[in-house]
Structure 1
Amino acid sequence: MQSQPHVPGFTIRLADAEGGQEQEGAPKATRGFRRRRRNRHGRGLRGELMLPNLPGFRSRSERFDDMVLDSAERLQDMWGKQLDGVLFAVDEIPPNLEQLVAEGTAAPMGSCTPGGRGEAPMVTVYRRVVEQTATGREELQDLVHDVVVEYTAEMLGVPPETLDPVYRRRYQ
């Protein structure tokens, strides 16, 4: 899903945890198999392996990104201009995960970074931690929305229940 074109000034950019900017001199990431133009023998691909209308066409990470985007758009519909300029990022695992495991503490499902010095505030959701916590697809979607609501509320300084009235009511 893309950001809503009918709401002026509202955009959602899914960025990596470092802000989505490449550093100079850093090697570019390799492209996935689906994005390559030719196979290793140089004869090119014969066609799509999976048609776009089939469920397996999109990867798990792409479907997870869509869940975060849907939650962010829902919050923007309710709160409007207060969420303009907020970046919603999806990262695989939290930083210093090895240290957290060694200490025996639970890994966070997300984080929020306040904006400052020309940087936009950012809410980051850690995909692997959230996926490991959820048991099914419906629970995953609810959990993603709750994580987005929790860290957006923390960033705005309001209780999560006031940010979204159905926060955590689906579990009861």
Structure 2
Amino acid sequence: MDAAQDLARRWPSVDQIQFAVEEVPPSDPAPWERSVVLGRGFTAEPRAGLPARVVIYRRPVASRATNEAELADLVRRVVVEQVALMLGRRPEEIDPGSAP
């Protein structure tokens, strides 16, 4: 994922996060998730041997983009948002060029 590689150059701790793409979000959304989820971050679970992970959901993201440029931009925004949440930062701090 290009977006993750770009962020890792600026934020070395991003290298510790695993990135994945799944087709659709699980059918059991969190109570605060009222709309279709585009991506989700999972904190590390060291006892279980699981690294921190960001998952992008392919179908919901692709259905919102009308061309490749929009798709790339949306993926980047979702990655930035999830990484920011994991690092306790604002998205603008993680990627100053990202649009809100």
TM over 0.5, yes or no? yes
Q: Which residue of 2 aligns with 1:122?
A: 53
If asked which structure has higher relative contact order (CA below 8 Å, sep 6+), I would say 2
User: Computing the radius of gyration over CA atoms, which structure comes out larger, 1 or 2?
Assistant: 1
Structure 2 residue 19 is the aligned partner of structure 1 residue 88: yes
Regions of 4+ moved over 6 Å: none
Q: Which residue of 1 aligns with 2:36?
A: 107
Q: Which residue of 1 aligns with 2:89?
A: 158
TM-score by length of structure 2 reads 0.87
More helix by share: 2
Q: RMSD of aligned C-alpha atoms?
A: 1.8
Structure 2 residue 69 is the aligned partner of structure 1 residue 131: no
CA distance in structure 2 between the partners assigned to 1:125 and 1:84 by the alignment: 17
CA distance in structure 2 between the partners assigned to 1:166 and 1:140 by the alignment: 16
Shift of 1:135: 1.5
Shift of 1:137: 1.1
Cα distance per residue 1:70-95 (max 9 Å; x no partner): 00100001112x12321001000000
Structure 2 residue 3 is the aligned partner of structure 1 residue 74: no
Number of positions where the alignment pairs a residue of Structure 1 with one of Structure 2: 95
Percentage identity across paired residues of the two chains: 40
Cα distance per residue 1:44-82 (max 9 Å; x no partner): xxxxxxxxxxxxxxxxxxxxxxxxx100100001112x1
